[in-house]
């Protein structure tokens, strides 16, 4: 069974038990919608690919459903800036994946990790950097892999060389890339919030100490004034 399917099932279980509620809420995606898209990706992966031409087709679960999900997230974004940023980040991520494929060794055996995992990591990191928000990073993560795959399919000469968009390993890379992008946002975002929270608490504590010190100074001055009046 493809690793992407196993990962989607695991994510589905976490969503069902409410573990990822905060993450989905920040992406403005409810549990039912998320589970629906996950189910469509899993089922669609095993359905026959839809032919686009004689030498090019697209997998339903690994190509069509992720694209529909990305478009849905873009359309439902509140700010126009986030929509534009997500699209630009997706294009940059796709280009990065394409050129990474051109630079990697032709023999996968000589690489430390599987090339598809390398693509997923590259796409996820680039998506996080340029997507900024959790929603934008996720969109760029999944679309980046598909755009890179599409660029590879058409090749340098602009002619499809015979491939299935979103099939097999690309499906795994798409899922992993989206997870990495959101995971980076969560880790960095939570760390930043904790640091800012700690700084805020320190500032508040310092303000309280200064306030107490000022009160003590005023009380001391008042006592001195009373002593002078008595003398």
Interval 98-122 mean pLDDT? 78
pLDDT: which is higher, 88 or 104: 88
Q: Which residues contact 124 (CB under 8 A, 6 or more apart)?
A: 141, 176, 177, 178, 179, 180, 181, 183, 184
Per-chain mean pLDDT for the chain: 82
208-230 confidence digits (pLDDT tens): 555 545 555 455 555 555 554 55
Q: How far apart are CA 146 and CA 150, in angstroms?
A: 6
Q: How far is CA 24 from the centre of its chain?
A: 11
Interval 109-125 mean pLDDT? 81
What are the helix (H) ranges across the chain? Answer: 3-16, 21-26, 31-45, 65-75, 80-103, 115-131, 134-154, 168-230
Q: What is the pLDDT of residue 216?
A: 54
What count of other Cβ atoms lies within 10 Å of the Cβ of residue 127?
A: 34
Half-sphere exposure of 136 (CA within 13 A, CB side): 23
What count of other Cβ atoms lies within 10 Å of the Cβ of residue 88?
A: 14
Handedness of CA 101, 117, 50, 37 (dihedral sign): negative
13, pLDDT greater than 90? yes
Supply 98's token pair: 């394409």
Question: What pTM does this model have?
Answer: 0.79
pLDDT: which is higher, 84 or 104: 84
What are the helix (H) ranges across 17-114? Answer: 21-26, 31-45, 65-75, 80-103
Q: What is the pLDDT of residue 44?
A: 94
∠ Cα 180 181 187 (to 5°): 80
Q: Which of 5, 47, 27, 1 is nearest to 176 (CA)?
A: 5
Please name the helix (run of DSSP H) or strand (run of DSSP E) that holds residue 46, with its range, or none: none
Q: Which of 23, 24, 36, 45 is nearest to 175 (CA)?
A: 45
Please report where in the chains the tokens 């997507």 appear, as a residue.
131
Q: Where are the domains of the chain?
A: 3-194
Q: What is the pLDDT of residue 150?
A: 87
Per-position b or e across 13-32, b if 16+ CB within 10 A of its CB: eebeeeebeebbeebebeee
List the strands of the sheet with 56-58, edge to edge.
50-51, 56-58, 163-165
């Amino acid at each position: 069974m493809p690793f992407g399917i196993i990962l989607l099932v695991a994510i589905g279980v976490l969503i069902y038990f409410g573990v990822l509620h905060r993450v989905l809420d920040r992406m403005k995606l409810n549990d039912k919608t998320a589970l629906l898209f996950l189910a469509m990706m899993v089922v669609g992966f095993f359905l026959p690919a839809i032919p686009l031409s004689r030498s090019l087709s697209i997998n339903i679960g690994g190509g069509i459903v992720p694209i529909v999900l990305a478009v849905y997230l873009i359309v439902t974004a509140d700010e126009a800036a986030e929509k534009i940023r997500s699209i630009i980040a997706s294009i940059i991520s796709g280009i990065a994946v394409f050129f990474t494929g051109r630079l990697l060794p032709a023999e996968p055996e000589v690489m430390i990790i599987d090339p598809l995992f390398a693509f997923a990591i590259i796409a996820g990191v680039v998506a996080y950097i340029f997507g900024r928000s959790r929603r934008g990073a996720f969109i760029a993560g999944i679309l980046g892999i598909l755009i890179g795959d599409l660029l590879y399919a058409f090749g340098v000469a602009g002619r499809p060389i015979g491939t299935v968009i979103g099939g097999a390993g690309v499906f795994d890379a798409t899922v992993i890339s989206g997870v990495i992008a959101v995971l980076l946002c969560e880790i960095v975002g939570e760390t930043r919030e904790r640091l800012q929270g700690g700084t805020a608490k320190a500032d508040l504590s310092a303000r309280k100490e200064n306030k107490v010190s000022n009160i003590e100074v005023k009380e001391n001055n008042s006592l001195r004034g009373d002593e002078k009046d008595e003398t």
